[in-house]
Structure 1
Amino acid sequence: MPAASRTRGRAPRRLDSASTCWTTSISCGRIASARGWPAGAGCVGVLGPRHAQRGLADIMPGGSGGGVQELEWDGTVVWDFTYSNVPGHLQHHDVEMLPNGNVLMIAWEGISAAGATAAGRNPALIQGPTFYPDHIIEVQKTGPTSGAIVWSWHVMDHVIQDFDPTRPDFGVVADHPELLDLNYPLQPASDWNHVNSIDYHAEFDQILLSSHNQNEVWIIDHSTTTVEAAGHTGGNSGKGGDLLYRWG
């Protein structure tokens, strides 16, 4: 199929909790290919006309994925990357292709309830044995089923809290809009942020994230190294991985 005739594929859609999840590729108003995954697949993201999130398990809240597939228009799988090691981490919701061919993915990372409490999370707001904040990984394809994580950003590196004064991240929340309140929203949850979409601005080298549970959109700097992304300095902005902008 000539490249000029291609259009963006339709996002995969789940018809209901008991149905197969389908993704379709559209060209010139006709379906070029269709793929289905079993019920429970987190098929809610598309990288472009040939990329789709692959659902692996229905073990987390809505949007659970666990991997990404790259498909040819005839349905041939050319890349099949898994990022699922529950309770350690699990890819979910959206993905974004970068101009260099790497892929940005949203994922949960599991922290024990004790670890979350040690960070300053109010124990009354921890639901279950594991606390799941979000992180972002950038994956460089290295083979048909493999990839190298070449950059990452973790929400937990950019938090503040006013619950436990003995913790190093204790402070006045209102004075630090670049950080996230570890105890907001004020309701028990294991899936803390539930980031469900990601986009990339190539000119500014910035990433936009949408957090369902914080009811906000965030912009972070992608020009940092992974070490800088874990801190508060570095990158084009000079602010490391702190939030550059938030609205909600």
Structure 2
Amino acid sequence: MKHPFSTAAIPSFLAATAVVISSSVFAPANAASMSFTINDFTGADTQVKFTLDDAIAGSGKVQFKVDYLSTGKNTIADIRGVFFNIFDDTLLSGLQVVGTDVTSKQFGPAGKVDSVGSSSNNLNGGGGSFDAGVEIGQEGIGKGKGDIQSTIFTLSHSSKALTLAQFSQQDFGVRLMSVGSATKREDSSKLKGQAPYYTPPPPPPKQVPEPTTVVALGIFAVGALKVAKKKPLVSASITVA
């Protein structure tokens, strides 16, 4: 197929191209992460660290990194369940989770999720209920997906972009099993805490291009105009096969 393309459009086309190039070169990304720890409310003395990031996994997705922190004599534990609330409850029906260690999930009803995967994987006894729960691995440290001290999963939505703002000051919980040391792991623990207030980072400052880049773009535009002026605008055309 052939497409007529008038040379009269060359100056504006090349100038627009130059603008696009300069904009893409000088526009830095704007993303953030937040970290916080939660502590046990019942069971063994334990602590877990959350790190949430809304850029690592791609735009509109939030990566959860959950790490067990060695506390006193409890140097190891198996992460079994991760629970959390989300600011906008209407998003629950469209949530999706992907992670190597994820074995089950429960999104909603809002404020009523108290277990995930199995009835024993819960935060009963003072933890309350949550909007969502994600089961990690399998019960029993001798199984293929057991004994997990650190896990990563990505949360997304089928039609909405997620940001860290959805988790600002929201409650989080974790169910730990097989808590103890290398020689004795007979305890369990349930943890609960709150994420900090999230303040979106300010827009990145506009960067002034280097002088050499400005000169190059200027030469590019002037050269394009000279080429266009040499062509008769009334009858000239370019045919692209």
What is the TM-score of this pair, normalised by structure 2?
0.25
Tell me which structure has the larger Cα radius of gyration.
Answer: 2
Q: 1 or 2, which has the higher strand percentage?
A: 1
Q: 1 or 2, which has the higher helix percentage?
A: 2
Q: Which has the higher contact order (CA 8 A, sep 6+)?
A: 2
